[in-house]
Amino acid sequence: MTQQRDLDQAATKATSPVGSGSLALPELSATGSFRLRKRVVAICVTVLIAVILLSAASGAAGLPVAGVARSMLNLIPGVDLATSLDSRAEAVLFQIRLPRTILGVLVGAALGMAGASFQGVFRNPLADPYLLGVSAGAGFGAVLALGFGLDVGWGPVSAVPAAAFIGAVVAVMASVLVARGSWTSPATLLLSGVAVAALFSAAQTYALQKLDETRAREVLSWLFGRLATSGWEQVLLLLPYVIVCGGLLIMLRRHLDVMRLGDDEARALGLNPARSRFLIITAATLLTAAAVAVSGLIAFVGLVVPHLVRLLTSHSYRVIVPLSALVGGSFMALVDIGARTVVAPAELPVGIITAFVGAPFFALVLRRSRRGA
């Protein structure tokens, strides 16, 4: 112990270098990719607010953006601005537009954070939130719920989201069991995830085949991903997961940077990678399952958003995880504007547009960054 203390002293002593007296050393660690820059966060938050306003204003009955902003500011206690929206317009805003916009933001944030975390724990850039069978499990659950005519719902929870959530969690647990809970071997987990996903997909396809056409159509629209809301119900279902699980992922994001050195070195540095991986996968899975339960299978967001953030800012998960929440939210809300307006009055499944918009955009950013590198 005395030796430890001596070491401590030695390190502190070394802060004033030999021969330079009391001259302070230039600080080296003040900058770098670990740093979540305030300016970048401010830009992302501004974009998010702009997208929310735009999304709330656009739709079948166009609302003026300024009026939308004023009416929303009026929600803050103590603020009372004159708004150009009449009560009918405000009802549209607060009961239809805003819930849907906020749901989009939450789903995008959830998938963005979960995707970033999965890429971190698996040290695999191709990882996405659906990796361990979340999508296949949720799909199977939803098909079963609809197939058994459970889509009536009870209380605040309707059957499809509940079944999808349970299906997703069961599938991930199955993946972990197949991998014999080997939290130390991401490759094993990943492969067992592939196997379990294939199994659940097959079961889902089989069950889908047994449904009549109307129900099958409903299942398919769910599978494509949609942001359909009835008031604030879906938002309230998802919000606790985003706060608790998303909060945990943000708090543990430093661990992901240690794990970039590989499990052996992470352990030598004093991190327990198996425990961190268990916690992060659990949180990311619950987050993804909750998002999928309310919005169906929205493709590509969980994969593309973390990459976008990585290419534009930093390779550090300290930056990627929180920014993926902000960028994912903006991306999702933006895409949803398209889903609602492109073929109005009909609607496109938002999951199709995320892939349509996300893939070329991603390719472009990838090309640009490769050229720059």
Partner 1 sequence: MSANPVLTDTLALTCRDVTVSYGDKTAVAGVDLDLYAGEWLAVLGPNGAGKSTLLHTIAGLGKHTGTVTMPDGRAPSATDIAVMPQNPLLPEGMSVVEYVLLGRTAHLGWLARESQRDHRIVDSVLHRLGLADFAQREVVGLSGGEAQRVVVARSLAQQTSILALDEPTSALDLGHQVQVLELVDDLRRRDGLTVLAAMHDLTTAARFADRLLLMRHGKVVAIGSPEEVLQPEILSDVYETPLTVRKLDGEYVVLPAPRSARHPEDRPAGLP
The residue ranges that bind partner 1 (CB under 8 A) are 1, 3-4, 6-8, 10-12, 14-15, 17, 25-34, 251-252, 254, 257-258, 260-262, 264-271, 310, 314-316
Query: Would you say 13 or 367 has its CB closer to partner 1?
Result: 13
Q: How far is the CB of 119 from partner 1 (least distance, A)?
A: 13
Query: Would you say 180 or 260 has its CB closer to partner 1?
Result: 260
20: CB partners within 8 A, 6+ apart: none
Query: Would you say 215 or 254 has its CB closer to partner 1?
Result: 254
Residue 74 is given by DSSP the state T
Query: Would you say 34 or 362 has its CB closer to partner 1?
Result: 34
Query: Would you say 73 or 268 has its CB closer to partner 1?
Result: 268
Query: Would you say 92 or 319 has its CB closer to partner 1?
Result: 319
Helix (H) or strand (E) holding 15: none
4: CB partners within 8 A, 6+ apart: none
Q: At what angle do helices 301-312 and 98-121 cross, to 10 degrees?
A: 70
Query: Would you say 25 or 45 has its CB closer to partner 1?
Result: 25
Helix (H) or strand (E) holding 230: none
Q: Which amino acid, 114?
A: A
Q: Which two tokens stand for residue 353?
A: 């547009």
Q: Which amino acid, 93?
A: L
DSSP SS3 for 331: helix
Q: How far is the CB of 130 from partner 1 (least distance, A)?
A: 25
Contact by Cβ (8 Å): 124, 190: yes
Q: How far is the CB of 189 from partner 1 (least distance, A)?
A: 19
Q: How far is the CB of 108 from partner 1 (least distance, A)?
A: 24
Query: Other CB atoms closer than 10 Å to residue 212's CB: what's the count?
Result: 8
Exposure class string for 177-187: b at 16+ Cβ within 10 A, else e: ebbeeebeebe
Q: How far is the CB of 315 from partner 1 (least distance, A)?
A: 3
Q: How far is the CB of 254 from partner 1 (least distance, A)?
A: 7
Q: How far is the CB of 39 from partner 1 (least distance, A)?
A: 18
DSSP SS3 for 281: helix
Contact by Cβ (8 Å): 168, 288: yes
Q: How far is the CB of 249 from partner 1 (least distance, A)?
A: 12
Q: Which two tokens stand for residue 302?
A: 């969980």
Distance CA 277, CA 262 (A): 12
Query: Would you say 22 or 87 has its CB closer to partner 1?
Result: 22
